[in-house]
């Protein structure tokens, strides 16, 4: 199994990266590349953040590039009140050089085959829409696309009817679903809001991480997110949307889905970023979305706990994991 993660770190993206790097250490998948989109912070800052998290998780060699600097048509809106000024709460990633050839990384991965290639988008779909427009033949070859976004017949978290990722770049979401050749797995707020992290659980996960470099920073990264959720009336806890999305995409959590045809409103002032779901099939079109309807949240957190333990084993020099790493290097 091979994975491209297109993300906007972002606190919940950090949890997704922790899980993915653990799975890569354990030989469960190959993390082809990480690319970033403008969302929680600017795309270049997201790339700085992703590079640091990859380093802290022991995979600094993963290919990394920033994508487009802003949405297709709207001005970029970021979320300093949610993820902090630099995107990682009370932590700050060190500066480093950032490449911008995200599309070349995607093309390389696609040309090596798409049967086992999963593209997971946890931020606005700007890069994916631009890629679909600039490289339609390569886009058409993608067989497994999963996105975190949208509120499907459900209250939004940015407007009464729109989720953040879709609201930031509604034109991108519209383009992607209008041009999709195969149903895209959609992980909407309806389910991802249930992926709640408590301070008690965070303490356990940090303990599971042991002496790993990421353990030293995870509390500072997450505490800002706890405080934001408390300020908006959600309690002192945090919704970790992107981790659940990755687990759903790769089949590591029991989930249910329904097929539907959807579109995303790109322009209206009142309904910008709103998902229109053709529940009754009135459009008489083939489904373009495989919508997540439920997920085993307890199972998802158990999987994350195991990922933390894998990181601890890698840091401790576990012989079995070290041998696996050498075998992968030889391949």
Strands (DSSP E) contained in the chain are 2-7, 30-36, 63-66, 117-121, 144-148, 184-187, 196-197, 238-239, 255-260, 262-264, 275-277, 289-295
Read off the pLDDT band of 327 (50, 70, 90): low
3-state secondary structure of 257: strand
232-256, pLDDT tens digit by residue?
Answer: 999 999 999 999 999 999 999 999 9
pLDDT at 321 over 90: no
Question: Does position 55 have pLDDT exceeding 80, yes or no?
Answer: yes
Going by the DSSP 8-state scheme, the letter that residue 294 receives in this structure is E
- The rounded mean pLDDT for the chain is 96
Show the domains of the chain with their CATH numbers: 2-330 (3.90.245.10)
Is this model's pTM higher than 0.85 or not?
A: yes
Mean pLDDT, range 12-35, rounded to an integer: 97
pLDDT value for 276: 98
| Predicted confidence (pLDDT) at residue 331 exceeds the cutoff of 60 | no
Give the C-alpha separation, 284 to 277, whole Å. 12
pLDDT of the residue at 325:
65
Distance CA 120, CA 12 (A): 14
80 pLDDT more than 90 = yes
**Contact status, residue 229 vs residue 238, Cβ threshold 8 Å:** yes
> What is the average per-residue pLDDT within 83-101?
97
């Amino acid at each position: 199994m091979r994975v491209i993660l297109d993300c906007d770190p972002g606190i919940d993206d950090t949890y997704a990266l922790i899980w993915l790097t653990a799975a890569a250490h354990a030989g469960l998948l190959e993390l082809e590349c990480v690319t970033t989109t403008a969302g929680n912070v600017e795309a270049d800052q997201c790339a700085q953040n992703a590079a640091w998290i990859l380093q802290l998780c022991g995979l600094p060699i993963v290919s990394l590039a920033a994508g487009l600097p802003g949405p297709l048509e709207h001005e970029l809106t970021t979320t300093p009140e949610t993820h902090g000024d630099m995107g990682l709460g009370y932590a700050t990633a060190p500066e480093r050089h950032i490449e911008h050839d995200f599309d070349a990384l995607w093309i390389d991965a696609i040309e090596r085959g798409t049967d086992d290639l999963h593209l997971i988008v946890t931020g606005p779909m700007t890069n994916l829409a631009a890629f679909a427009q600039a490289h339609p033949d390569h886009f058409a070859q993608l067989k497994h696309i999963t996105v975190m976004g949208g509120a499907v017949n459900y209250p939004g978290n940015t407007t009464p009817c729109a989720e953040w990722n879709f609201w930031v770049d509604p034109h991108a979401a519209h383009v992607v679903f209008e041009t999709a050749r195969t149903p895209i797995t959609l992980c909407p707020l309806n389910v991802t809001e249930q992926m709640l992290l408590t301070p008690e659980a965070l303490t356990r996960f940090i303990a599971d991480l042991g002496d790993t470099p990421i353990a030293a920073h995870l509390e500072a990264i997450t505490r800002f997110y706890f405080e934001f959720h408390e300020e908006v009336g959600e309690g002192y806890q945090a919704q970790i949307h992107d981790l659940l999305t990755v687990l759903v995409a790769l089949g590591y959590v029991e989930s249910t889905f329904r097929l539907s045809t959807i579109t995303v409103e790109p322009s209206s002032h009142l309904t910008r970023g709103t998902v229109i779901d053709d529940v009754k099939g009135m459009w008489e079109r083939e489904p373009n979305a495989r919508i997540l309807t439920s997920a085993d949240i307890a199972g998802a957190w158990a999987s994350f706990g195991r990922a933390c333990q894998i990181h601890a084993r890698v840091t401790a020099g576990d012989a079995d994991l070290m041998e696996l790493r050498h075998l992968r290097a030889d391949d």
